[in-house]
Structure formats: structure tokens, C-alpha cells
Amino acid sequence: MNEVVNQQENRPPSPIVQFKRDMEAMVVRELDMLDDKAKSRMKSAAIVAVTKDPDLLMADRQSFMGAIRMCAQHGVTPDGNEATLQVYNTKVKLPDGREQWVKKVTYLPMVRGIVNRVERSGKIKPFYAEVVYEGEAFSIDTSHGDRRPVHAYDPMRRGADEDIIGAYSVARYVDGVVDCEPMPRAEIEKVKASAKTKNVWDGWFSEKAKVAVMKRHSKRLPLSAEDMDFILNRDETDFDQPRDITPPAAKPNLAQRLASNSVEKINMPAETVGRAEGVQEAEVADGPSQAANPPEAAPDAPYRALAANGAPNGDAWTKGATAFHEGKPITSCPYDPDEAKADAEDWCGGWCGAELARS
């Protein structure tokens, strides 16, 4: 009898029991910004989430706790209304050089969460989004000096996800001005194509379409940096799926690479730095070049220099990243630096950012 008891005591805890213990420890260690009621709500939401989706329970625990921590910092609960937790596969490069697929966790802002963040600014109310199905009449009325949607449809006779031809969001400012952001199906599909969590799109296309247009609209609304950080949630999309992540060293960001001596390597032709398809980028030591006759700057050097000041919070950045994935060179930047320098910097920043993500 004592042997049976001892075996039970030595048996490792079940995954859900271990998860609850991890959550308790994390709440004490890292969620001190929350009051007791909010802590309890966060723990309950996390436990409900793993109960509904066992993949969350078996996913990388560090990324799970990171997603919970980000929700706490942004003041939202991952309860499926304001935000939701999702699993995506990431290829991780181990210290010994081997590669391994790991289930990572990220949080996705939902329509309700985005609406709450925008409306709490006190400058806009209401803020909402809707999808347009094939056969429904939709237009934008500009006769009042603003952009007002005109959408005629029968709520009892709407189509399926495959019949959606676009989406739009509407923001009414406190002074009565109305602004509408339309997004056709083709652009929504581009957002879906770059999403890590495509399985969510497959099950909730109309909801994700609303989130996509709300995110794009939010970029030009008078919101705080904290609100934008939550709404855009840059961890949700990745143009080059899956990504290779080599812990623990992190890659320098775009501005750091362009500002450092490694800018010489970026500006050189690919063959100069020994890059080839399927071959990792050669390491380049800091300091002045040892070559007696350094190569001439590549034609794209001025464009890459512009990228150092690019900001990933506008349409120009997105267009630049899209251009890279369409195979267009950085020299095809449509903005003249002398006339629209900020747009040129953002476009080139998006192009280089997509290039670095693929490297």
C-alpha cells in the first residue's frame, strides 16, 4: 500500500495541473501591474483557453506566458471577445545547428478589443466594421465633405464567406465627421496570406476581414502608441512563414543593421558577400574594410540608406514589403525622395524589412 502511495506521489503532475502551477508562479512574478480581480480574471481566461484548445497546453510555455503578459500590459483579457490565444508553428534552429518545429503562442486582437481601444481615446465613437457580400450595394458618399458609407443589404439574406467581396470600417469623430476605410477582397487575401494563424481565417473569415480593415484604418486615427501596439499586433503576421529563429542571439533590427558597418554588406551585390541560394549569409567583421580596392556602391545603395528612417506604421511600408514579395527591386520605389521623402523612407523600410525577414 505504501509503495502505491509513494508511486503516486512521485508521478509527475498532469499537464493541466502543471500549467496551473506555472500560471500561479507567473502571476506572482510578472503580473504585478494588475489588481487581484484582474489577476483572477486573467488566470481564469487562460485556463478556459487551454481547456478549449489542447494545442495551447502543449505549446511552448514561454511563448504562452509571453502572450498572457502582453495581454496584461495592453489591458485586455484573452477571453475570445477582446483577444484570443492562437498556436502557430515556428521552425527553431537549435544551438547544435539542427532545426525543430515548435508550437508558439500569440494573442490576436478581436473586433471588440479593437473597438474598445479606439473608442476609449475619447475622440471617436462609434468605431465599427462590416463586410460586403456579392450583390449588395456599397458606395462612399463624399458630398458632406467627409467619407460616409452607403451600404444597402438585407441582414436576413447574406452570402457565405466565399461571397464576401470586401469589408469597410467606419469612425465617427466627436465633431461629427465620418471617415470610412474600404478594403476589397484582393487586399484582404493579401493580409490572410501573410498571417501566421491561417487556420483562424479559415474558420472566421468575416471576423478576420473586419479586423484587417480596422487595423489598416487605425493607422491614420489619432491613437496613442500603446493603442497602436495592441491593435497592429505585429507578431500576428509574417510574410515569410515559417521563420527560422536562432536563440538566444537576436538579429539587430533594420535601423541597427543599416546604421552599423554591416551596411557595407547589405549594399554589396549578393555574390560579393558570398550569398547563394540555400547558403547562410557570410559573417562580416566590424571595422573598416580590409580590401585594397573596395567595390563601388550598388545602384540600390541610396534606397537602402532611406530605409534606415522608415517607420512600420503606414501604407507605404506595407506596399514596400508587398513589392519585395512580388519580386520587384528596391529601385522600383514609386516615391520621389525629393518630393515625398517620408513615404520613400517607409516604402524602402518595408522592402528591406521583408528582405531581412526572409534572410
Q: What is the pLDDT of residues 240-256, one digit of tens each?
A: 333 333 443 444 544 45
pLDDT in tens, 158-196: 999 999 999 999 999 999 999 999 999 999 999 988 877
pLDDT at residue 310 is higher than 50: yes
**Final residue of a structural domain among 223, 241, 270:** 223
Which single residue is written with the C-alpha cell 538566444?
248
Q: Is residue 235 assigned to a domain?
A: no
> Can you tell me whether residue 344 is helix, strand or coil?
helix
With 80 as the cut, is the pLDDT of residue 199 above it? no
| Residue 255 falls inside a structural domain | yes
Segment 2-22, tens digit of pLDDT: 554 455 556 667 777 777 888
Same domain, 102 and 155: no
Q: CA Rg, the chain, in Å?
A: 24
**Residue at grid coordinates 479593437:** 114
In the chain, the amino acid numbered 35 is D
Same domain, 90 and 123: no
217 & 255 share domain: no
- The mean per-residue pLDDT over the stretch 299-320 comes to 78
> Sign of torsion, CA 355 88 79 170?
positive
Task: Measure the CA–CA gap between 324 and 317, rounded to whole angstroms.
Answer: 11
Is 208 a member of any domain? Answer: yes
Q: How far apart are the first and last CA of the chain?
A: 60
DSSP-derived letter for residue 195 is B
Q: Name the residue with higher pLDDT: 265 or 185.
A: 185
Per-residue confidence (pLDDT) for residue 128, from 0 to 100: 97
* 3-class state of residue 204 by DSSP: coil
Same domain, 101 and 120: no
Instruction: Report whether 178 contacts 170 (CB < 8 A).
Output: yes
Element (H, E) at 109: strand 99-109
Residue count of the chain, please give it.
359
Whether the pLDDT of residue 124 is over 80: the answer is: yes
Nearest to 69 by CA among 34, 103, 36, 111: 34
pTM score, whole prediction: 0.58
Same domain (yes/no): 123, 90: no
* Apex 308 CA angle, 114 and 298, nearest 5: 135
Instruction: Look up residue 186 and give its three cell numbers.
Output: 484582393
What's the average model confidence in pLDDT over 122-130? 95
Q: Is residue 230 part of a domain?
A: no
Biggest CA-to-CA distance, the chain: 85
Q: What percent of the chain has pLDDT over 70?
A: 76
Full DSSP string of 220-240: TS---HHHHHHHH-GGGB-SS
Q: Which of 59, 81, 323 is nearest to 196 (CA)?
A: 59
Nearest to 171 by CA among 161, 162, 181: 181
Cell, residue 35: 489588481
- The three cell numbers of residue 185 are 477582397
* Structure confidence at residue 197 (pLDDT): 67
- In terms of domains, do 58 and 119 share one? no
Q: Cell digits for 216? A: 489598416
246 lies in a domain? Answer: no
Domain limits for position 257: 251-358
